[in-house]
Amino acid sequence: MNTLFRLSLCFVIAVLPVHSSGTSLGADNDTAAIQAKLNAVRQQQMAAEKQITLKKATIDVANERVAQLQKQLKESQQRIAAAEKSLQSAVANKAAAEKQAATLAADLKRHQQADALVANAAAVQQKVVAAKAKHQTLQDQLAALKISQAEQQQLESKAVADLKAATEQLPKTKEELTKARAALDAAGREVDVAKLATEKRRQSVKALEAAIPAERSRRHKAQAALAQVNGSAKTLQESLAALQAAAKTAGSDPLEAGAELAKSLDAVHALQKRAAELVATTDAKLAGAQKQLDAAKAEYTAAEAKLREYQDKYAEHSRSHFRLQLKVADLQSADGLQNKRIADAKSQQEALAAQQAELEPQIASAAAAVKSLEEEFVNKQKLAETSLAELGRFVSFSEHIAPIFAKRCVACHNTRTASGRLNMDSFAAIAKGGESGAAFEAHDAESSLLWAMVDDGSMPKDADPLTMEEIAIIKQWINSGAPLDAGVVATADLFQVMPEIAQPLPPETYRVPIPVTATAFNADASILASSGYHEILLWKTDDGSLIRRITNVAERVYDLEFSADGSQLAVAAGTPGQLGEVKLFSTADGAHQKTLVRTKDVIFAVSYSPDGKSVAAAGADRVVYVVNVESGNQLVQIEDHADWVMDVNWSPTGKQLVTASRDKTSRVFDVASGQSVITFNGHADAVFSAAFLTDGNSIVSAGSDRQARVWKVADAKEARKIGGFGSDIFRVEVTPDNHLLTASADRNAREHDLANGKVIRTFAGHKDWVYTLSYNAAKNLIATGSYDGEIRVWNSKDGSVATSFIAIPKAGDAATVAAAEE
């Protein structure tokens, strides 16, 4: 607006006249001109004002438009700012989406890789199934061959036995045949006699039967005559009666009138009597004839029966004679027949043996293939499980679930006490479920009874509920399919599948000595191992100084034994009621090499086999274990004792084991089969220790009855009893020269001659129970350990003490304190 005003003023000034410095031509003209100009200027001014007004209006419109445009611009700017903000948000969302997509792509790749690993493992598993099927088929074929071979062996044995029996029976059978022939002939003669008698009776019956009709005819005629006479008598009687009636009517004498007729009637009556007598005579004759006939028939029937009896007897003798003839013929031909059967059976056995020989390498190859594939499957499945676990798709039963169940559930849900009929001492038992049905539904924890009961706190019953973490991991395990770790046996006890955990470290120093429950010398007796608390202590034998403390051991150590070369130490240990273990440690550095046995209660004894390839162990679970040292595989498991097995030792041949048990028995077992060989029941109380004598044919055992008993393996008969002990005998050991070393609760160790039972030497000086004893023949040293923590090393030749010390480590590995002598 100001700009337009300034332009208007410039326009007015431009049209004003320019005054000259010269003289005006005239005033009027000037005035008029000025007036005209003024008018013109005014008009121009008015026009300009009009234009100004119009321009103002235009400007106002323009200003309004500018205001509108400015508003629109502001709104546009706001929209642009919002759009820019949205753009920034979209860019951020795009970046986040790209990041999420990258993460998801990476996750997808990891899942795909995991799925590929699972698929690889599944493919190998299919190969395992096929390999097992092939192996089983071969085994079935081998079993069938062995059965056939056994059958052929039985056939051969039977043929040999039959041949021998036939050879032995032929003379006797021939004698029986001769007797049978004689009996048959005698029976034949009896039949012939019986036939003649029967025929005679038959002819008699026939004759009597022929006489009967004549007698009947005569009887009939007599009866007819009697009837006729009776008829005549009746007629005469009637006539006499009529005549007498007529005479009486006529007035005549009836008797006189009928006298003649009465005479005739009397004559007829006499005739009638004779006729009746004749009938009686014929009846009697007929009855007599019939009686004779019946008697003859009875005799004939009896004769026929007798004949049949003799015929049956003859038939039986004939059959017996025939059987004996056949038997003699068979026995006479048995030589060739049985020899042929023997030859055929041997031929079949050879053929079957050849087939077995062909199958056995195939089976071995198939077994190796199965083992290789199983190992491959386990390895690949473990890789898959590791990958799935990282993605939250797998929960280890062994590592996470079994420890929870073992700790919180098995006490009430086990083989012996299965509350609700639910046994939870193995994966297979859990999967089987209880009286309420399946324990879990794989991939569906919400529908699983097991998870529901731990989630609502109803289980464990009468105990603290599981933690939220425990409940959550159980739920995750079920939702991931309730899997079992690769290589884990479904039926294995939870304790066996749980990961082995490191044992607590022992105290740096012991406030008080602890009982020495186990000792062992290495081969050259330079090192003596002893039991500690959660550790084994290795000492220099000559001065009792500490060499090394071996840790990662259960609370209590019960037995120790070095390998033959001294490089390895086998340890039997345990935490009562919780854990039992046999571990192998390196003597050089104390490193834990492997665990051979793990049980739910302590292991009391461990022993190397004579060849050093196997270890036998036994403990509170009443089981004897034999394990391969190199592979760690269990070779045999023996469950035959009714109570704790306190000791186990090998026979000199390594083929048998002897055990000592709290069930008051000592038993011998065959190592190969695990079968019991014999049981010694001679002890009156718990047996703590047992060992073979050097010949392997006798055993010495001892325990709470304070008697060392020597008995024979063959018959379990006691050969000798050694007494003189003041309390329980904890340990026996047999020396190479057949001497018996014992450790007793009467505070003494002793040496006896097993040949005569006489005591050779008593090692006295301990102040408490002597729990353990070890012997080294190379250096003639005996180590004893007692309840008060003292170890004494004795010279076995003279009984002198070589060294003694309290078996506890000191701070800074200082020397141990020597035991004070009384």
Do both 243 and 287 map to the same domain? Answer: yes
CA distances from 392 to 114, 380, 396 (A): 11, 18, 11
Band of pLDDT at residue 28, cut at 50, 70 and 90: low
| Cα 500 to Cα 596: distance, rounded to the nearest angstrom | 12
Least confident of 27-31, 408-412, 540-544: 27-31
Is the pLDDT reported for residue 25 higher than 60?
A: no
Is the pLDDT reported for residue 234 higher than 90?
A: no
Do both 326 and 464 map to the same domain? Answer: no
> Which secondary structure element, helix H or strand E, spans residue 816, and what is its range?
none
Do both 240 and 321 map to the same domain? Answer: yes
Do both 441 and 328 map to the same domain? Answer: no
CATH number at residue 203: 1.10.287.1700
Is the pLDDT reported for residue 614 higher than 90?
A: yes
Both tokens assigned to 16: 């004003």
Give the pLDDT of residue 297.
84
**Selected residue with higher pLDDT from 650 and 80:** 650
Tell me whether residue 478 is in a domain: yes
Alpha-helical segments (H) within 506-647: none
Band of pLDDT at residue 68, cut at 50, 70 and 90: confident
| Cα 381 to Cα 385: distance, rounded to the nearest angstrom | 6
Domain final residue, candidates 497, 526, 542: 497
Mean pLDDT, rounded, for 252-263: 81
According to the 3-state scheme, what is the secondary structure of 311-354?
Answer: HHHHHHHHHHHHHHHHHHHHHHHHHHHHHHHHHHHHHHHHHHHH
Band of pLDDT at residue 30, cut at 50, 70 and 90: low
Least confident of 171-185, 262-276, 538-552: 262-276
**Rounded mean pLDDT of the chain?**
88
Averaging pLDDT over each range in 204-213, 256-265, 400-409, which range is the top one?
400-409
Both tokens assigned to 790: 């003292």
Contact criterion met (CB below 8 Å) for 557 and 517? yes
Please enumerate in sequence order all residues whose Cβ is within 8 A of that of 620, keeping only pairs 6 or more positions apart, or say none. 574, 576, 580, 599, 601, 602, 603, 604, 644
Band of pLDDT at residue 820, cut at 50, 70 and 90: very low
Please enumerate in sequence order all residues whose Cβ is within 8 A of that of 593, keeping only pairs 6 or more positions apart, or say none. 568, 583, 584, 585, 586
Contact criterion met (CB below 8 Å) for 444 and 464? no
For 311-352, the pLDDT digits (tens) are 898 899 899 888 888 888 888 887 888 788 889 988 998 998
For 192-221, the pLDDT digits (tens) are 988 898 888 888 888 888 888 887 888 888
Is the pLDDT reported for residue 88 higher than 70?
A: yes
Least confident of 250-264, 365-379, 575-589, 727-741: 250-264
Q: Could you tell me whether strands 656-661 and 603-608 are parallel, antiparallel, or unpaired per DSSP bridges?
A: unpaired
Band of pLDDT at residue 94, cut at 50, 70 and 90: confident
Closest CA to 599 of 620, 584, 615, 628: 620
Mean pLDDT, rounded, for 443-449: 90
In this structure, how many other beta carbons lie within 10 angstroms of the beta carbon of residue 247? 16
Mean pLDDT, rounded, for 615-644: 96
Phi, psi of 692 (to 5 degrees): -75, 145
Tell me whether residue 707 is in a domain: no
Is the pLDDT reported for residue 818 higher than 60?
A: no
Do both 184 and 289 map to the same domain? Answer: yes
Least confident of 186-195, 290-299, 330-339: 330-339
Tell me whether residue 383 is in a domain: no
For 352-391, the pLDDT digits (tens) are 899 989 989 999 999 999 999 999 999 999 999 999 999 9
Please enumerate in sequence order all residues whose Cβ is within 8 A of that of 716, keeping only pairs 6 or more positions apart, or say none. 678, 679, 680, 681, 682
Do both 346 and 402 map to the same domain? Answer: no
Band of pLDDT at residue 811, cut at 50, 70 and 90: low
Is the pLDDT reported for residue 183 higher than 90?
A: no
Q: Is the whole-model pTM more than 0.85?
A: no
Domain final residue, candidates 497, 515, 546: 497
| Cα 201 to Cα 433: distance, rounded to the nearest angstrom | 89
Tell me whether residue 510 is in a domain: no
Do both 213 and 260 map to the same domain? Answer: yes
| Cα 709 to Cα 226: distance, rounded to the nearest angstrom | 117
Tell me whether residue 414 is in a domain: yes
Is the pLDDT reported for residue 12 higher than 60?
A: no
Do both 344 and 432 map to the same domain? Answer: no
Is the pLDDT reported for residue 686 higher than 60?
A: yes
Give the pLDDT of residue 5.
39
Do both 353 and 403 map to the same domain? Answer: no
Is the pLDDT reported for residue 226 higher than 90?
A: no
Is the pLDDT reported for residue 48 higher than 80?
A: no
Give the pLDDT of residue 21.
41
Least confident of 199-203, 651-655, 739-743: 199-203
For 583-597, the pLDDT digits (tens) are 999 999 999 999 999
Give the pLDDT of residue 7.
36
Do both 429 and 480 map to the same domain? Answer: yes
Give the pLDDT of residue 202.
87
**Selected residue with higher pLDDT from 279 and 481:** 481
Band of pLDDT at residue 263, cut at 50, 70 and 90: confident
Tell me whether residue 185 is in a domain: yes
Do both 435 and 307 map to the same domain? Answer: no
Q: Where in the sequence is the domain holding 252, given as residue range(s)? A: 178-359
The number of folded domains in the chain is 2
Is the pLDDT reported for residue 18 higher than 70?
A: no
Tell me whether residue 249 is in a domain: yes
Tell me whether residue 427 is in a domain: yes
Give the pLDDT of residue 158.
87
Domain final residue, candidates 465, 497, 529: 497
Is the pLDDT reported for residue 1 higher than 90?
A: no
Give the pLDDT of residue 363.
92
Do both 301 and 412 map to the same domain? Answer: no
